[in-house]
Every structure is written in C-alpha cells, then in structure tokens.
Amino acid sequence: MAKPKAVLFDLDGVIVDTATHHYKAWKALANEMGFDFTEADNERLKGVSRVESLNILLEIGNVEKNDQEKEQLAAQKNEQYVKAISTMDDSEILPGVKEFLQELKQENIPFALGSASKNAPTILKQINLYHDFDAIIDGNSISKAKPDPEVFLQGAEALQVNPEDCVVFEDAQSGIEAGKAAGMYVVGVGNPEVLKGADDYITHMTEMSVERITKK
Ligand code: BG6
Ligand code: MG
C-alpha cells in the first residue's frame, strides 16, 4: 500500500500479552463450573467482548445460566483479570512495540487504540503508554463488537484519516475481519494458519517497519 496515514492497534495480544491473563481467568471460571477450557477454545474469545465471551464459554461447557447469574460470572472473571493486570508494568510490553511506536512518531504517522476491552485505559496506564496514543477507542466507547468495523472506523475518524489509508494490527480472527470490513490494510499478529484473511502477517512487532508496509 502507499505510506499509511494512520495506524490502529488492538491491545490484548498486540501491544501487551494480556491474552494469557484473560485465558487464565476464563479457564478458572470454567473449571469452577466443572468443565475444561483449552487454549484452542480460547481463540474464539480473542477480540470478543466480555459478555459475548461468557456466552461462548457457557456454550462450550454446555451450561445454561440466567441473566443475573451471567452478570455475576462476568464480574467474577473480571475481578480475577483486574487483579492480574494490577501488577503489570512496561516490561510486559511485547517485543518491538515501543520501537515501532517510536518510528511512527518520527514519521509523523498518528496512531490510535482499537480495543474491545473496557480495561484498556487501565492497562495503558499500567504500562506507561496511555499518553502516547493520539486516540483511544475501547470497550467503553463502542456499541458493536468486532467483527463489526465500528471500533476501527471510530479510530480513523478520531485521527481524521480515510479508512483505506489506515493499517490495523490484530491478533484475533474477529479483529482481522473488523479491519477488513472497515476497508483497511490488516496485519495479523500470529500464525497465518490460525488467523485468516489478513494482508500481511508477523509473529512479533520487531519484524514491522513503515517501509515494510509501504513496500507491500
Ligand atoms: C479484548 C480481548 O481485547 O477485550 C477479549 O481480546 C476480551 O479476550 C475483550 O474479552 C473484553 O475485555 P474486558 O477487559 O472488557 O473484559
Ligand atoms: Mg487482541
């Protein structure tokens, strides 16, 4: 593509490895309800909202709960998750992320967060990146979850850039679909055999540069 005019980052699994903290908290809940929850199952939860994640979890365990019980279970999961992220610091930023953000700043390319998480601001503050982002779109500001493109379209709008000039970084299938539905160039962070439909793939942000995107 031409040189990007803006970059949109997913948070969990792209900027920081909170995907493992989410997984552990859901697994603990599943075990408590008497069923197992594997890492392969967890792929379905990546990028998906808290409420929708719980619905998928209950479907996997073949367990039925009423709305009140669901609310309590989601709160219980979040309590464990919040405890896990409360001790995070910038050493948990994934390899190459700081350097790539630095490069974007040098190139005057603005960047925003596009995350489904309501805990996104807390995490960005914990890892000292809160003030680096030009805009933060998270689970508190969107009404439609990924794969709906809303989160990324809001990001493009906040940065005043056309969707086709934006690059999205995503580690979730739902997120890749959201980025493509928004009409953006999408880089999948992870295994191409698990993540389908991205324009490019990396394992770590260390492989990324503005030049790489521009040459594609
Ligand atoms: C996404 C994660 O970023 O945020 C999902 O990939 C998670 O696994 C979702 O369910 C919502 O997060 P939170 O912090 O609002 O429960
Ligand atoms: Mg993610």
Q: Residues 106, 186: one domain?
A: yes
Chain segment 81-90, per-residue pLDDT in tens: 999 999 999 9
What pLDDT does 120 receive? 97
Q: Please name the residues in contact with 35: beta carbons below 8 A apart, sequence gap of 6 or more.
A: 60, 61, 62, 63
Nearest atom in ligand 1 to the alpha carbon of residue 52 is: 10
Q: Residues 64, 152: one domain?
A: no
Q: End of a domain among 63, 85, 107?
A: 85
Chain segment 32-83, per-residue pLDDT in tens: 999 999 999 998 998 889 999 999 999 999 999 999 999 999 999 999 999 9
Q: Residues 66, 145: one domain?
A: no
What is the whole-number distance in angstroms between the Cα of residue 45 and the centre of ligand 2? 9
Chain segment 144-174, per-residue pLDDT in tens: 989 999 999 999 999 999 999 999 999 999 9
Q: Please name the residues in contact with 140: beta carbons below 8 A apart, sequence gap of 6 or more.
A: 118, 120, 121
Q: Residues 210, 107: one domain?
A: yes
211 part of a folded domain: yes
> Rounded to whole angstroms, how far apart are CA atoms 173 and 195?
5
Domain that holds residue 145: 6-17+90-215
Whole-structure pTM value: 0.94
The yes-or-no verdict on residue 216 having pLDDT over 90 is no
- Is 216 marked as a binding-site residue? no
What is the whole-number distance in angstroms between the Cα of residue 179 and the centre of ligand 2? 12
Closest CA to 103 of 167, 162, 41, 154: 167
- Is 10 marked as a binding-site residue? yes
Q: Residues 79, 104: one domain?
A: no
Chain segment 95-147, per-residue pLDDT in tens: 999 999 999 999 999 999 999 999 999 999 999 999 999 999 999 999 998 99
Identify whether 134 is a catalytic site residue.
no
The yes-or-no verdict on residue 1 having pLDDT over 90 is no
Domains contained in the chain, number:
2
Find the angle CA(147)-CA(153)-CA(124) to the nearest 5 degrees.
85
1 part of a folded domain: no
Nearest atom in ligand 1 to the alpha carbon of residue 175 is: 6
> Rounded to whole angstroms, how far apart are CA atoms 194 and 216?
22
Find the angle CA(161)-CA(17)-CA(10) to the nearest 5 degrees.
15
Query: What single DSSP character describes residue 94?
Result: P
CB-defined site of ligand 1, < 6 Å? 11-12, 22, 45-50, 53, 78, 115-119, 139, 172
Q: Residues 63, 135: one domain?
A: no
